[in-house]
Chains A and B, each alone.
Chain A
């Protein structure tokens, strides 16, 4: 019953979030602000994770297929497929669920317990739409760029690791990266990232919006936002993989 209650309330919350905004000019300003805050502010962490992720994938692949009759470019090929298909969207999604999700839940939760949301409602403004829609749109619009950055840096990370350790010659790695390339894989990664961005922002906002109590409950809501959105990312990752690649 608890699950159904939460699901129903989440659906009604999303309906309110996507109702007509009060002023479009204010919405546009807020979306740009959120893109900067949630997206641009995450470029650093995404870059660091991606470079190490690419490096580790390349080295692990190299160590595991150290067989003479398998060409070296296969390592570049495997690294590319792993980065494009899985890591840049899913791992970045999970990292953003921790960083951005907790930030959204605690910001909105704090506004709830300090009656700032009530103050917005009193003015006749749809508080869920006013506060949450810019966050959802901001993250959904900026995450594809973060994913592309992650893909690029991940592949560079693999190239650096392979070259520095001497496990994969640069020419082989680059040949592998270009070999049998399917552009759809980038689109597939971007579609997943957009869905994950929606899940992270909406679930975190939902958890924060319905906080009852004080700062302790805000902390709990923030933790719950990260846990629930991470699980949803994994679940939707499976669903999308089946839908888009099967």
Chain B
């Protein structure tokens, strides 16, 4: 489990997170939802330590992550896998080398064992015959899958996904959502996903946190979200015509 307590974050004298507290459960797909520019990515990057927080606490299991030195944070970071919005694959490395990268850095496995693990991870995300291709030679959806394969290469305990569906067509987006959900369940990972895609919310939202203007305004699950009383959440959820019609018909 990951716990965030009273987290505050300021950028260039502008506060972007206000006293955010939340718990993210193990073995569940925890979603952070909200409009673009309202602090979702800052929250996610603060939790993984990419942004230094102003005040508050970030706790992984029973270890207080915030305030740790870089060397101590490294121990926890080795248990983290992250899928970035733009995939963040290394341009100069092939798909195989990208997935093998964390194994090269941290594993004592032999060359053959590493290659077996790379192929296992690529098969797990349903990718075949792409090992020798460069990221620029594959589609956006495939890049996301390679990034997931890289994220799970070292069997992480925590998986973070920043807008995993951005730039993808609805069908591919569902594939990525399902993949993340299956991996979460299969390895009992604490998964935190940033999204503003309501399809993702409906598909995999076991625990949902709604962020608006840097503040946590609501917490619940995908069933409760339709009956929530929070006005700004309703504006966000029923912004699309499709969800408006669903609401009208229900």
Contact = CB atoms under 8 A, between A and B. Distances in A.
B75 A116 contact: no
Contacts, number: 53
Contacts of A125: 105
A110 B45 CA distance: 19
Q: Give chain A's interface residue range (CB within 8 Å of chain B).
A: 10 to 19
A122 B86 contact: no
Contacts of B201: none
Interface in B50-101: 50, 70, 73-78, 80, 82, 84-86, 88-91, 101
Contacts of B45: 118
Interface in B148-187: 160
B91 A124 contact: no
Nearest to A122: B82
A195 B99 CA distance: 37
Contact of B73 (A115, A116, A118, A124): A124
A124 B78 contact: yes
Contacts of A124: 73-78, 80, 106
Contacts of A22: 105
Contacts of A126: 70
A119 B88 contact: yes
Given A116-B90, A116-B91, A123 B84 contact: no
A118 B78 CA distance: 14
Contact of B77 (A23, A110, A115, A122): A122
B105 A123 contact: yes
Contact of A122 (B80, B90, B91): B80
Interface string B182-224: 0000000000000000000000000000000000000000000
A115 B105 contact: no
B88 A114 contact: yes
B104 interface: yes
B77 A123 contact: yes
B42 interface: no
B4 interface: no
B245 to A, nearest CB: 37
A6 interface: no
A122 B105 contact: no
Contact of B78 (A110, A115, A123): A123
Interface of A: 22-23, 26, 110-111, 114-116, 118-119, 121-126
25 contacts: A22-B105, A111-B90, A114-B86, A114-B88, A115-B85, A115-B86, A116-B89, A116-B91, A118-B45, A118-B84, A118-B88, A119-B82, A119-B88, A119-B90, A121-B77, A122-B48, A122-B77, A123-B77, A123-B78, A123-B105, A124-B76, A124-B77, A124-B106, A125-B105, A126-B70
